[in-house]
Structure 1
């Protein structure tokens, strides 16, 4: 994004010593879109040139006198770069030299282009007929940055990012993983667990690692996500303390979908508390699992719940003046 903004500063000829230097040394009358990098160019300059295919999507030249706009390489028509639209044979077919400016293709009140011989040349002529000639001699050509619904005279990273960023349909679990007031470390672990991508022993054994797939807490069943975080007797004891504060489910959890349903089925005043408690429980169970495997440190389930209780109290206390958090401490301690 930073490099795109630098390209915009260069094209818009912002009042800058850096911009003036590049126009006089690197460009020197050539189009930014057609210049070839040389071996003596700096790494930063070559990276800017590498970004031209991306930057051209946002750039549009607004014609003034046509003196500084490249006929073939600047995007001054809705057809994009004419050298791409017409093709490499365009300069010969239209009798306009490769380094010509737009004004060079005009003569008084008309264009000096020959009769079109292809449909693309017809499309170009159709657009040219909408431009009033002669061009305004006292108006300079300017660049516009088109991001979103309208052209801009300044570069805005927010609108550019909205165009660039990949978009997908909203996931049904997004309100449980990412929500206002969530703690990043807890949400991240919840996100990984929700996708069932935690490196449990069952997964690691399935990848070919020579390890026991059994749960480190109970050693009776394979360590899958649902067993480790929901069905293991150790985890159930931890959840028991959480349920005492957030109202227990009607039935014991057997899979991840039931956990998500329990969170969403909470009364409105308990929804946020259940989200925070669930994420904290998942985080601390996974933390204790790692502590047991890597440090051989075993603690009672009550100790894990104590850490969860402390985490929830700290979260609520730090946000007690925010809306929806002001009553959570009462609900948690009841």
Structure 2
């Protein structure tokens, strides 16, 4: 018996639904979990959106004794919004990526970035979501390489890596409906 209804036997689906009821669908869910996304990019974007990445401001709040400054620009304390939006390193990258998506100005906050992804523009929604996820992933990856390995790549190199990765993802999914005509938009 589940929720007052006789199941006439065991049902794993009804048992799961009873133990783990579904939450309401979040406004940002379709911007992160979309068909054709790369799992590692989507996962990083999801954790970043929830502000759960172990940025230095969070590590400090946990009591770790570390330098709070961003390892990419070394001028401001590292937080999610600084690292992905207002850091000079990230701004350089976003400037080049957003130019490919026909957007002229940068974002001021994470919420503005998420709002732009959902808004209808001339760029394909799939391309916007893909490019954003690849950019966030690569900034986070570079931050970790800089912090843990002492390897610093200039932002121009990261822009080239992002461009190559977006092209590879589009090429790998060119037979899918949502990815038709996306390469021509990315290259224009």
Say whether the fold is shared (TM-score over 0.5): yes
Matches of 2:122 and 2:35 in 1, distance apart? 15
Matches of 2:179 and 2:165 in 1, distance apart? 14
Shift of the alpha carbon at 1:166? Answer: 2.5
Alignment of structure 1 residues 172-211 onto 2, 5 Å? 172-211=27-66
Distance 1:247 1:268, change over 3 A: closer
Matched, 1:225 2:80: yes
- 1:256 is matched with which residue? 110
- How many residue pairs get aligned? The number is 187
- 1:283 is matched with which residue? 137
Structure 2: unaligned runs, 5 residues or longer: none
**1:233-287, Cα deviation, whole Å (9 max, x unpaired):** 11011111211211215x4312111001111123375111000000110000000
Matches of 2:69 and 2:39 in 1, distance apart? 30
Matches of 1:301 and 1:259 in 2, distance apart? 20
- 2:170 is matched with which residue? 316
Bigger Cα Rg: 1
Match of 2:149 among 273, 283, 295: 295
Query: Does the Cα contact within 8 Å between 1:202 and 1:214 map onto a contact in 2?
Result: no
Which structure shows the higher helix fraction?
2
Dislocated runs of 4+, deviation >2 Å: 143-147, 157-166, 266-269
Structure 1: unaligned runs, 5 residues or longer: 1-56, 59-77, 81-142, 148-156
- 1:213 is matched with which residue? 68
Shift of the alpha carbon at 1:175? Answer: 1.1
Higher relative contact order (CA 8 A, sep 6+): 2
Match of 1:266 among 112, 115, 120: 120
Query: Does the Cα contact within 8 Å between 2:146 and 2:152 map onto a contact in 1?
Result: yes
Shift of the alpha carbon at 1:145? Answer: 2.3
Shift of the alpha carbon at 1:302? Answer: 1.1
Matches of 1:205 and 1:184 in 2, distance apart? 29
Matches of 2:87 and 2:5 in 1, distance apart? 63
> SS at 2:77's partner residue?
coil
Matches of 1:268 and 1:315 in 2, distance apart? 20
Matches of 2:15 and 2:162 in 1, distance apart? 41
The alignment's TM-score, normalised by the length of structure 2, stands at 0.91
Query: Does the Cα contact within 8 Å between 1:238 and 1:302 map onto a contact in 2?
Result: yes
Query: Does the Cα contact within 8 Å between 1:266 and 1:274 map onto a contact in 2?
Result: no
> SS at 2:9's partner residue?
strand
Which structure shows the higher strand fraction?
1
